[in-house]
Structure formats: C-alpha cells, structure tokens
Chain A
Amino acid sequence: MAALLSSHITANAVVGLLLLGALWVARFVRRNRLWRDAFTQIARRRPLALAVCALYVSLGLIDSVAWIGGGDTGGDAVASHQPRSLLDRAFGTSRERSYSAPLARAEFYGQRPLAHPGKHLLGTDVLGRDVLFVTLKGARIALLIGGLTSLISIPLALFFGVLAGYFGKWLDDAIFFLMSVLASVPGILLLIALIMALGKSTLSVCLALGVTGWVGFCRIARGEAMKLRELDYVHAARALGVPEVRIILRHILPNLIHLIVITFVLTFSSQVLSEAVLSWINIGVDGSWGQMIAQAKDELARDPIVWWNIAGAGGGLFGLLLAINMVGDAVRDVLDPRTSKENL
C-alpha cells in the first residue's frame, strides 16, 4: 500500500481523478441554480481568500505531476532515476553545503562562497536545501493531509451517521456506542495511539486523523437523518413502496450536502493544525510545514539568528489556514440555513 502510494504513476492517477472530480463538481455547481447562487455569494464575500486557496491548490498540482528522466539533474545519478515533479524541475538541483541567508553570496557560517550565489530567495536550511523550494513543496503535503483525511472521515461519518439516524433501533444503539467509545479517548491521545499501533508513516497519520475526525460529523449527520426521516415527503415515498436505499440516496443524502461542504472546509484547517502538533513530537508527515517548524525550533536561539526556515514554513501554514478559515466562515454563513436567515 505504501509502495503503491509513493509510486509516481498512482500519484499522477490520483491527481487526475481529483481533477476530474473537481470538474464534475464545477459542472454540477454551474447547472444547479441554488449552488451557483451560493458559490457566487461566497466568491463575492471572500474573493481574495478564494484566490489564495486556488494558488495553493495549483502549487500542489504543479508538485504532483511527476515523471522520470529528462531535464538536467546536475550529474546526480540517483535523482535522474527518480520521478521529479514540475516544481522539482523548475528549481533544479541547487544544493549548498549548509545554512545561507536569503539571497546571500556566501555561506552563513564560515563565509565560503555558495555554489549558486544570490539564487536562494529565502536562503538554505541546515542541509543546504533551498528554503523557498522546500516551503513550496509543503503546499502539496498540507493539501494531502487535509484532503486525504477528509476523504477518509467524511464517507465514514456519512455512512454510519445516516445508517444510525435513518434506521434507528439497535443499529443506532450500536453505532452510538462506537461513537461514544471513540469520543471518550482524548483526541490527541487517540491520534497517538492509532499512529503508534499502525506504525509511523504518512499513510497512518492520515488514517489516524481520518478515524479520529469522523465522530463529530457522524453525530451531526445522525441527528439530521433522524429529522429528515420524519418529513412528509419521506413518509410519502415509503408509503409508495420506494426501497429504503433509494430513499436514502434520493431524499436523505442530498439534504446533507450543505453540511458536508461546511464540515469539509471547517475540519480541513484543524487537520492541518493537528498534523503540525504531531510533527512536533516526531510522528508527523515527512516534508510538512509542521515538520519544518519542528526541525527549526532551535534556530531562533542561535546567534546570529536563523529565521528564514521558520518564516517560510510558518508563512506557508499561516497563509493556507487564514484563507481556509475565511472561506470557511463565508461557506457557513451562506450554506447554513440558521445563520443565513439572520443576515437577511
């Protein structure tokens, strides 16, 4: 599974599928008047935040499309046999020996001349990697964390929530008990327990975040399904002999979509923040901004100060979270029928 994920062919396929999915959603939003109105409202309220989100997504895409061979690897025999993304190719192999200040011409300690003087817009880190490059690569990881965990937790929550809420009785009791058990372990401890049990890897971090994240939304979906079950048109459908599966697909699920969108946007930022916390205690995802910050945590205590690693990773993280939080507020205001009434 891990090997499958790291293969660049599957990675490209996943990106392609996600793009197709996004196109399908865009088509759906364009065709449906309600959703088109909602989208234009969100875009009108938060044009800048949406643009920033789009910027991050395109960065992630640029770093996702990868292939082997071609381009100049600077004589690096290993790199020429590894898949390199568009972003890798744009930056090339411009490694230094160690720290160098932004746009410096010499090394930070020792003052030896750099291999690529003045090329490093944000300097280089302790291993001599270009900080701007490493920071930009973090965008893909952050989107992966937020997106993959949502892809795990939302279907899980929706499935169990609708099952419990719609059918009730013993099924509801069983699922509610499962939710109670998961909700009774403090969040961070459950994350740690899952990651330690599954082994420290990117996939297990995403799985752990997904498994811990679904309970909250499951509770909402369950409550909503319970309410919808008693509505007249659902009763009517059942009286007409429509099969239960069809009722759920046609009458229950479409009424939950606004909740899914709100939860997706709101949990996205909290997942990225949780991963940063996990990175601090060394069980995070490789290459994430959280890991960059955790690895650079002592650099501000140096003399002279090495600030560009923290600034790069912190800036990337802050920009993404701010944009998503702003969009999230707008999404909730527009889609949640309770709040949108107040604004009328």
Chain B
Amino acid sequence: MLAYLVRRAAYGVLVVFGVLMLLFALFFGVTKPDDIARRAIGEKAMPSVIAQWKKNHGYDRPLWPGAGHLTDNLLVDHFRKMLTFDFGRSDADDTPIINRIKDGAGPSLSLTLPEFTCGIGLGLIIALFLAFFRETYIDRAGLVLGVLGMSVSVLLYIIGGQFLIGKLLRWFPISGFDSSWLVRPRFLMLPVIVGIAAYLGSDTRFYRTLFVEEIHRDYVRTARAKGAGEIRVMARHVLRNALIPILTGIVISVPTLFMGSLLLENAFGIPGLGSLTVDAITGNDFATLRAIVFIGSLLLVGGQILTDITYTLADPRIRLE
C-alpha cells in the first residue's frame, strides 16, 4: 500500500509539472508577453509603452534559459512562482494574487459545500425512490423529469431562480453576500437551490442507473430468497453496494470545491474564486488566471489521488500493488 501511494504521488507530481508546462506553452508560447501587454493596454499601444508595461509586470525577460540568463528567464520564473505559491502581483491592479485567492476560498467554500452535500443527498434519495418503484409510472415520470431538467441550461436556472424565488416570491435576496455568518445563509440560499436544481436531473439519472444495475445482481436475489423485505434489500444491500462507485465518483470533486462556481458566484455576486476568475478574464489578467488554473489543477490532482485511495478502502476486491 505504501509503495503504491509513493508511486501514485510521484506520478501526481509528474502530472503537475506537465500542467505547468502546458500553462507555460499557452500563456507564454501561444500568447507572447507582447500580446499580453497589448491586450492589457490596447491593440495600438506604442512599442515604448509596451516595453514599459512588460518591464513593470516582469515580462521583459527572455522566454527560455540560455547563456547569461540561466535562472533569470520567464520559464524558471514561472515554475518558481507557481511551486512556491508566491504568484506575484496581478497584471490588472497590482494586488498580490495569493491574498485574493486566500480571501476568495472562504466564500467559495460556503457556497459549494452545502450545494455539493445537499445535492448528492437529495439525488440519492430521489434515485433510491425511483429504483424502488422501477418500471412503474412513478419511475417513468421521474426519468422524463430528469431528461427535461438535463436539457435546460444552467443560465436559465439562474435567471428563472432569481425571477421566481427572488422577485416574485421574495423569499431570498436576488444577489449579494455578507461576511457575517448570521446574515450569509440568507444570501446563499438562492444560489445553493439553483445549483442543486441545475444538476439534479443528470445526477439522479446516474444514481438510479447504478442502483438498478445493482438490483439485478445475484446477491440481491439471494437476499430476497431468504426472505428479506424489499425495504431491507434496498437499504442494506443495494444502497451500500451502489455507494462504492458513487463515493469513489464524488471524491474527485471534493478538493476542487475550494474553486467555487464560476457561474453562480458571478450571477449572485459572491466574492469567491469563481468571481476572481471571471474578473481575471474580463480584465485580461493573465497572471491571476495562471495562478487560478494552477491551483485548480493541483486540487484536481489531489482529488484523483484521493479517488484511487478510496477505491482500495471502499472495495476490498481491488488491490493496488
């Protein structure tokens, strides 16, 4: 197990280096420092202004290591900045990027954590219910509703939620955020509801498929044969066994919950990492964008490693040697 973990972690490190190279290729190779400067200050900026902007933001060094600038180049600088988590200053407003990321993680998490847990809970309950009534009209109706829900864009859920719950029913504020924990839930209710509703259809269908697959297994027939009631079969046998693929499937997204939600944060005015990303896009802030993509990848690699570990813990049939 330990040997496997070390090997898995080493591959993770290798992948992180690959991501860093990809980022370098995209943000220094495809978009050259000159392009970044032009996008920040205007297409028709004078060469001297561009040179000054590049100097101010640290883009005025050679791309690759070479004679005379073995360590003083953009490639080494990029790797050093990312790996030490000292991302430097934003290209747009010169604030230290790491501070903004630290500030954004809290609000993001307070949105994604309840959305994630309640969404999975609700999805599982509905899916179990549908699987219990499988091949009946209840099941059919649930599946049709699921397809209908899947076919509506998240944008419409946001707009519809704000209109229906925020404007017509006036249950919760349409958008906004508060740092105090007493007021914050009021603001978070609407985005959480919208976030859950947007993915409930596809989640429920996915869970139901897993449950129904499990119901057709031999051990379920055995359980019925020895006289176990249908509810006991569902709760003790089907649910527990179907939880293995479900658990291992959701573990991967647990670390990336820190990244928040791009759309929901932007639409509901939550100052998290999603909003930071949108700001970086609209402001052509490549330094911040690099940092965000890197942190997101780091968290996702962590999630992938966690997934592999849960596989071994949850399913004794799998040995990773």
Q: Mark contacts of B1-35 with chain A using CB atoms, 8 A cut-off: 1 yes-contact digit, 0 otherwise.
A: 00000000001001110110011001100110000
Secondary structure at the B interface, as helix, strand, loop or mixed, is helix
- Other-chain residue from B30, B153, B158, B162 in contact with A317 (beta carbon distance below 8 A): B153
Across-interface contacts of A301 in B (CB, < 8 A): 162-163, 167, 174
* Bound CA–CA A193/B156 (angstroms): 25
A273 within 8 A of B: yes
Say yes or no: A293 contacts B297, CB within 8 Å.
no
What is the bound-complex CA distance between A189 and B297, given in angstroms?
9
A181 at the B interface (CB under 8 A): yes
CB proximity of B20 to chain A, nearest CB, Å: 10
- Give, as a whole number of angstroms, the nearest-CB distance from A184 to chain B: 5
> Which residues of A have CB within 8 Å of B297?
184-186, 189
**Which of A15-23, A99-107, A149-157, A278-286 faces chain B?**
A278-286
What is the minimal beta-carbon distance from A80 to any residue of chain B, in angstroms? 30
Contact B148 A322 (CB under 8 A): yes
Scoring A184, A186, A194, A294 by chain B CB atoms within 10 A of each residue's CB, the highest score goes to A184
Are A276 and B15 closer than 8 Å at their CB atoms? no
CA distance A282 to B16 in the complex (A): 29
Cβ contact within 8 Å between A310 and B304: no
Which residues 270-284 of B sit at the A interface, judged by CB distance below 8 A? 277-278, 281-282, 284
Contact between B159 and A322, CB atoms less than 8 A apart: no
B151 adjacent to A318 (CB under 8 Å): yes
Segment with Cβ contacts to A, from B65-73, B186-194, B221-229, B286-294: B286-294
Q: Are B159 and A310 in contact (CB under 8 A)?
A: yes
B272 to chain A, nearest CB (A): 14
Q: Is A65's CB within 8 Å of the partner chain B?
A: no
A283–B151 alpha-carbon span in the complex (Å):
22
Chain A stretch 164-205: residues in CB contact (< 8 A) with chain B? 177-178, 180-182, 184-186, 188-190, 192-194, 196-199
Of B125-133, B232-240, B258-266, the one touching chain A? B258-266
* Contact across chains for A197 and B18 when beta carbons are under 8 A apart: no
Within the complex, the shortest CB–CB distance from A199 to chain B, in Å, comes to 8
Contact B266 A281 (CB under 8 A): yes
Closest to B292 in A: A189
Are A197 and B159 in contact, CB atoms less than 8 angstroms apart? no
Contact across chains for B27 and A193 when beta carbons are under 8 A apart:
yes
B155–A280 CB distance below 8 A: yes
**B contact residues around A256 at 8 Å (CB):** none
- Shortest CB–CB separation between residue B88 and chain A, in angstroms? 18
Is the CB–CB distance between B151 and A181 below 8 Å? Answer: no
User: Given A281-B278, A329-B147, A180–B18 Cβ distance below 8 Å?
Assistant: yes
Contact residues, B150-183 vs A (CB, 8 A): 150-156, 158-159, 162-163, 167, 174
Whether B152 lies near A184 (C-beta < 8 A) is no
Residue A68, interface by CB 8 Å: no
CA distance A280 to B274 in the complex (A): 13
A310 to B157, alpha carbons, bound, how many Å?
12
* A197-B266 contact in complex given A276-B154, A318-B152, C-beta closer than 8 Å: no
* Chain B residues in 8 Å Cβ range of A318: 151-153, 156
Q: What is the CA–CA distance of A318 and B149 in the complex, to the nearest angstrom?
A: 10
Counting CB contacts under 8 A, is B109 at the interface?
no
Determine the residue in chain B with the shortest Cβ distance to A192: B281
A281 partner residues in chain B, CB cutoff 8 A = 262-263, 266, 278, 281-282
Point out the residues of chain B lying under 8 angstroms from A180, CB to CB. Answer: 11, 15, 18
Partner among A186, A290, A329 whose Cβ is within 8 Å of the Cβ of B300: A186
- Tell yes or no: B256 within 8 A of A by CB: yes
Check if B167 sits within 8 Å of A300, measured CB to CB.
Answer: yes
A321 touches B151 (CB 8 A): yes
Contacts of A325 in B (CB 8 A): 147, 150-151
CB-based nearest B residue for A320: B151
Are B286 and A196 touching (Cβ within 8 A)?
yes
A181 in complex: contacting residue of B19, B167, B259, B299, CB < 8 Å: B19
Proximity string of chain A (207-242) to chain B, C-beta cutoff 8 Å, 1 when within and 0 when not:
000000000000000000000000000000000000
The answer, yes or no, to whether A81 is at the interface (CB within 8 Å) is no
Q: With A and B bound together, what is the CA distance between A318 and B301 in angstroms?
A: 34
What's the nearest-Cβ distance from chain A to residue B98, in Å? Answer: 18
A326 within 8 A of B: yes
Please tell me if B114 contacts chain A, counting CB pairs below 8 Å: no
Asked whether any CB of chain A lies closer than 8 Å to the CB of B296, the reply is yes
Contact A197–B30 (Cβ < 8 Å): yes
Give the residues in chain B near A329, CB-CB below 8 Å. 147
Asked if B151 and A184 make an inter-chain contact with CB atoms under 8 angstroms apart, the answer reads: no
Q: Mark A279-313, 1 if CB is under 8 A from B, else 0.
A: 11111000000100110010011000000001000
19 A-B contacts (beta carbon < 8 Å): A177-B15, A178-B18, A185-B19, A186-B297, A186-B299, A189-B292, A193-B23, A197-B26, A197-B27, A198-B30, A280-B155, A280-B266, A293-B153, A294-B155, A297-B159, A314-B152, A322-B148, A325-B147, A329-B147
Sort A-B residue pairs by CB-CB distance and give the 4 closest, nearest first. Answer: A181-B18, A321-B151, A197-B26, A322-B151
Known: A181-B15, A185-B297, A186-B256; 9 extra A-B contacts, CB below 8 A, are A177-B14, A189-B277, A194-B26, A273-B153, A276-B155, A277-B155, A281-B262, A301-B162, A322-B148
